[in-house]
A and B are shown apart, each in its own frame.
Chain A
Amino acid sequence: MRHLLSTQDLSLANAIRILDTAEEMAAVGEREVKKLPALRGRTVVNLFFEDSTRTRISFEAAAKRLSADVINFSAKGSSVSKGESLKDTAQTLEAMSADAVVIRHWASGAPQQLATSGWIDAAVINAGDGTHEHPTQALLDAFTMRRHLAALNGTDSVGSDLTGFRVAIAGDVLHSRVARSNVWLLQTLGAEVTLVAPPTLLPVGVEHWPCKVSYDLDSVLESGMDAIMVLRVQAERMNASFFPSTREYSRRWGLDDARLARLDTLGMTDTIIMHPGPMNRGLEISSSAADSPRSTVLAQVRNGVSVRMAALYLLLSGDLRDPVPVYSPASARRPGPAPRSTNETGGNAR
């Protein structure tokens, strides 16, 4: 894993490895000294071509808890009135010896271009690109679901996946990088995903995705769900005829008070409500749903720091000159016979 660009190319082993590492990072967040020396001397640049205070401070907190130096570089500018090109910006960062670039960009694919163009040697972490992907958001969502599932089963979340976990993702899938990253990652982790949206807000080609698609939120809820992830819907979409009115949208696809109550009558006592934020209360989600005990919105924010610490740690802590060897957490954690090889922290540890 040299970069974290998307969840589509994230293997199960690497996904579990990130989530497991995030568990250790979360433990650090509960200590008195919430800091680790692991990335001392490394420089992380937050390169934001699009405003997102939430994501930026989450990455900033993550990098600082790992003792990295953080440089915030806001390169916001509209596509028309662009100042510096991505290439020039990248080369500036390279000249500043950035070890990692956390990039948020309005253009789909910009992080991948940064990682593959040869403009820069740093590790690239996609912090959301256009309507493409937002891998750390999906990882923190999966982390939140995995902890929920482990708590229900009374098991350890470390090493586990989401086999059989049923997730509904409701809202503007067409314009959502969160939905895309979640579909790929949740599928990799074994969850069953159902997308629920007006047909206008589903991309042509969604039929090739590894998930179910429905236009009817009520029937999806009735079918039984373990998590309902509500996506932000921009009211401006109404002006482009994606739906007739916010009222109609919220009546058909919003998680309103009536549907919140239905979860109880349907006996779905353990179903959680998730939202990547920021929320449009009263549009895609009602206030009582957002604030209900089912809501994991704040846990998601908290988990975001742990997951981003894990990503930064795994990309940056090792020798950056060598490719990271393939690692299988399943075999490493399995009790019983282990391969006859030197244990890094064992007999020959220095």
Chain B
Amino acid sequence: MTNDPTRGSFLIRGAAVLGKERTDLLLQDGRIADIGAGLDAGSATVIDADGLVALPGMVDPHTHLREPGREDAETVETGSRAAALGGYTAVHAMANSSPVADTAGVVEQVFSLGREAGWVDVRPVGAVTVGLAGQQLAELGAMADSRARVRIFSDDGICVSDPVLMRRALEYVKAFDGVIAQHAQEPRLTEGAQMNEGKVSAVLGLAGWPAVAEESIIARDVLLAQHVGSRLHICHVSTAGSVELIRWAKTRGIKVTAEVTPHHLWLTEELVRSYNPVYKVNPPLRAEEDVLALRAALADGTIDVIGTDHAPHPSEAKDCEWAQAAMGMTGLETALSVVQHTMIESGLLDWEGFARVTSATPARIGRLADQGRPLHAGEPANLVLVDPAARWTVDPQAMATKGRNSPFSGRELPGAVIATFFRGHPTVLDGKLNTPDRSRSTAAAAAGGGK
């Protein structure tokens, strides 16, 4: 394994780790072999990182890779390429595939597809209920014990609205240190909902998705989590009221973590006035005051992590009437830039904070031992080099994801991923896809005469 040609050594020269002092990093055998000024390159390939920021590889707690079932929208291969380009070294693949990832078989399939692709760690999320139907618990233990070692369970896309089922799920996953990631959306309050309910929906005549539908579920679930002493994760928090509830829960010592998407940190419901379905997303874009509350919450730790909720759709799902259009936006390849724009350039977060919300904390929530680690000698070499001074204009046609539904299309964004190292292997170099890490694919294992 050690003389595997895909796993050469690299000396990163002069990167600003977490945006602080410049140093060299030597990557060898999948780990950070050494860190410090003036390291000897030896036989390692030298990468000039002058002006670049070194960050731990990003970890997405919330990605839709669409495979199996909707390979027209995205595949594990295309989605994980997009992830690597976006600076990610691990993504959690949501369970709403077809078939639903509600058995050990499906999660192992997704896990294997991720290993074959070799761009990032693909960690399947298991469904909470069979078929996301909200009736009966899926075999959570089997998924946890599978090769995929599932730790995050979610019916994302659909809320686990039955309070008894939610309570049981929260309790049950304690057996294997799992967490329920709730898509907080009271279903009856959001029947036919098309956009945030408020002054814009009133004018546009689009059925409203009221903030209270999110907040009432969060209020209930933090109380349930407190009652049964379980871990709870709230997906894509979108309202100022939700922030208040989570802040309250945390002061009470409730084990709740929360996620916000890059788009909810920037975009508002005003964009819906165009009736352009690229802005249709669930939960919907909210008002300016919600955006500001979400940014403040991410800065003060009330919201723990960035989750892209990357949701690619084929173009016909967006080239239609608003009411018929699919909900969701792509996000893997724009997340870093959008967070830099909204959080770093606004002074709310520094790069160390960025690493916390995009890497360390999401890895801890998903119980990923090799991800989200500090950039120290001996740690796995999952890291990303970012040029914070770069500016680029979003062109969905040029992206690696199959989805063309980026709400940032045409916008100029700051910050570019120059290189991504996944287990010491450069998946991205010079801002372009390099090669995947094949060392753990079955093909490589067979060639090496392994299991």
B321 engages A209 (CB within 8 Å) = no
A187 CB, nearest partner CB in chain B, Å: 13
Interface stretch (choices A198-206, A225-233, A308-316, A335-343): A198-206
Q: Which of B194, B203, B274 contacts A205 (CB 8 A)?
A: B203
B275 engages A113 (CB within 8 Å) = yes
Question: How far does the alpha carbon of A205 sit from the alpha carbon of B319 in the complex, in Å?
Answer: 29
B216 CB, nearest partner CB in chain A, Å: 16
A105 engages B321 (CB within 8 Å) = yes
Contact with B along A108-137 (1 / 0, CB 8 A): 111011001100000000000111110000
Q: A105-B321, A130-B323, A205-B198 are in contact. Are A112 and B275 (CB under 8 A)?
A: yes
Question: How far does the alpha carbon of A342 sit from the alpha carbon of B65 in the complex, in Å?
Answer: 65
Which A residues between 126 and 181 are near B, CB-CB below 8 angstroms? Answer: 129-133, 177, 180
Residue B199, interface by CB 8 Å: yes
Residue B200, interface by CB 8 Å: yes
A133 engages B324 (CB within 8 Å) = no
Q: A131-B205, A180-B205, A205-B203 are in contact. Are A110 and B198 (CB under 8 A)?
A: no
Question: How far does the alpha carbon of A340 sit from the alpha carbon of B200 in the complex, in Å?
Answer: 45
A205 engages B202 (CB within 8 Å) = yes
Residue numbers in A under 8 Å from B200 (CB-CB): 205
Residue B133, interface by CB 8 Å: no
Q: A85-B319, A105-B321, A116-B274 are in contact. Are A203 and B206 (CB under 8 A)?
A: no
B199 engages A208 (CB within 8 Å) = yes
Question: How far does the alpha carbon of A112 sit from the alpha carbon of B205 in the complex, in Å?
Answer: 13
B192 CB, nearest partner CB in chain A, Å: 10
Residue A87, interface by CB 8 Å: yes
Question: How far does the alpha carbon of A64 sit from the alpha carbon of B210 in the complex, in Å?
Answer: 45
Q: Which of B201, B274, B320 contacts A203 (CB 8 A)?
A: B201
Residue numbers in B under 8 Å from A129 (CB-CB): 205
Closest residue of chain B to A5 (Cβ to Cβ) is B275
Residue A86, interface by CB 8 Å: yes
Residue A107, interface by CB 8 Å: yes
B322 engages A206 (CB within 8 Å) = no
Which B residues between 210 and 239 are near A, CB-CB below 8 angstroms? Answer: 210
Q: Which of B197, B198, B274, B322 contacts A108 (CB 8 A)?
A: B322
Residue B316, interface by CB 8 Å: yes
A204 engages B198 (CB within 8 Å) = yes
B324 engages A180 (CB within 8 Å) = no
Which of A106, A108, A177, A208 counts the most chain B CB atoms within 10 A?
A: A108
Which A residues between 271 and 306 are near B, CB-CB below 8 angstroms? Answer: none
Q: A203-B202, A204-B197, A204-B208 are in contact. Are A107 and B319 (CB under 8 A)?
A: no
Residue A14, interface by CB 8 Å: no
Residue A239, interface by CB 8 Å: no
Which of A86, A105, A110, A113 counts the most chain B CB atoms within 10 A?
A: A113
B322 engages A113 (CB within 8 Å) = yes
A207 CB, nearest partner CB in chain B, Å: 8
Mostly, the A contact residues are: loop
Question: How far does the alpha carbon of A204 sit from the alpha carbon of B208 in the complex, in Å?
Answer: 8
Question: How far does the alpha carbon of A262 sit from the alpha carbon of B210 in the complex, in Å?
Answer: 39
Residue A8, interface by CB 8 Å: yes
Closest residue of chain A to B324 (Cβ to Cβ) is A79
Residue numbers in A under 8 Å from B275 (CB-CB): 108-110, 112-113, 116
Residue A321, interface by CB 8 Å: no
Q: Which of A79, A112, A133, A204 contacts B201 (CB 8 A)?
A: A204
The count of chain B contact residues (Cβ–Cβ below 8 Å) is 24
Question: How far does the alpha carbon of A174 sit from the alpha carbon of B443 in the complex, in Å?
Answer: 60
Contact with A along B180-211 (1 / 0, CB 8 A): 00000000000000100111111111111010
Residue A82, interface by CB 8 Å: yes
Residue numbers in A under 8 Å from B316 (CB-CB): 85
Which B residues between 293 and 313 are near A, CB-CB below 8 angstroms? Answer: none
Q: Which of A87, A106, A109, A116 contacts B204 (CB 8 A)?
A: A109
Residue numbers in B under 8 Å from A204 (CB-CB): 197-198, 201-202, 208, 210
B78 CB, nearest partner CB in chain A, Å: 24
Question: How far does the alpha carbon of A17 sit from the alpha carbon of B448 in the complex, in Å?
Answer: 81
Closest residue of chain A to B315 (Cβ to Cβ) is A87
B175 CB, nearest partner CB in chain A, Å: 41
Q: A109-B204, A177-B205, A204-B210 are in contact. Are A86 and B321 (CB under 8 A)?
A: yes
A135 CB, nearest partner CB in chain B, Å: 13
Q: Which of B201, B202, B320, B323 contacts A85 (CB 8 A)?
A: B320
A108 engages B202 (CB within 8 Å) = no
A87 engages B202 (CB within 8 Å) = no
Which A residues between 74 and 91 are near B, CB-CB below 8 angstroms? Answer: 79, 82, 85-87
Residue numbers in A under 8 Å from B323 (CB-CB): 79, 106-109, 130
A113 CB, nearest partner CB in chain B, Å: 5
Contact with B along A179-212 (1 / 0, CB 8 A): 0100000000000000000000001111011000
B206 engages A109 (CB within 8 Å) = yes
Contact with A along B352-381 (1 / 0, CB 8 A): 000000000000000000000000000000
Q: A85-B320, A86-B320, A204-B198 are in contact. Are A108 and B205 (CB under 8 A)?
A: yes
Which of A87, A106, A109, A117 counts the most chain B CB atoms within 10 A?
A: A109
Closest residue of chain A to B207 (Cβ to Cβ) is A131
Residue numbers in A under 8 Å from B276 (CB-CB): 113
Q: A109-B275, A112-B275, A113-B275 are in contact. Are A208 and B202 (CB under 8 A)?
A: yes
Question: How far does the alpha carbon of A108 sit from the alpha carbon of B275 in the complex, in Å?
Answer: 8
Question: How far does the alpha carbon of A36 sit from the alpha carbon of B321 in the complex, in Å?
Answer: 36
A180 engages B203 (CB within 8 Å) = yes
Question: How far does the alpha carbon of A208 sit from the alpha carbon of B203 in the complex, in Å?
Answer: 9
Which A residues between 32 and 86 are near B, CB-CB below 8 angstroms? Answer: 79, 82, 85-86
A339 CB, nearest partner CB in chain B, Å: 36
A109 engages B202 (CB within 8 Å) = no
Closest residue of chain B to A203 (Cβ to Cβ) is B202
Question: How far does the alpha carbon of A206 sit from the alpha carbon of B324 in the complex, in Å?
Answer: 25
Residue numbers in A under 8 Å from B194 (CB-CB): 108
A50 CB, nearest partner CB in chain B, Å: 12
Question: How far does the alpha carbon of A216 sit from the alpha carbon of B202 in the complex, in Å?
Answer: 21
Contacts A108-B205, A109-B275 known; 11 new A-B pairs at CB < 8 A = A86-B321, A87-B319, A108-B206, A109-B206, A113-B275, A113-B276, A113-B321, A130-B205, A133-B205, A204-B201, A206-B202
6 smallest A-B Cβ distances: which pairs? A205-B202, A109-B275, A132-B205, A131-B205, A107-B321, A203-B202
- Enumerate 17 A-B pairs (CB-CB under 8 Å) in ascending A order: A8-B203, A82-B324, A86-B321, A106-B323, A107-B324, A108-B204, A108-B205, A109-B206, A109-B275, A109-B321, A116-B274, A116-B275, A132-B204, A203-B201, A203-B202, A203-B208, A205-B201
Chain B interface (Cβ < 8 Å from any Cβ of A): 194, 197-208, 210, 274-276, 316, 319-324
Chain A interface (Cβ < 8 Å from any Cβ of B): 8, 79, 82, 85-87, 105-110, 112-113, 116-117, 129-133, 177, 180, 203-206, 208-209
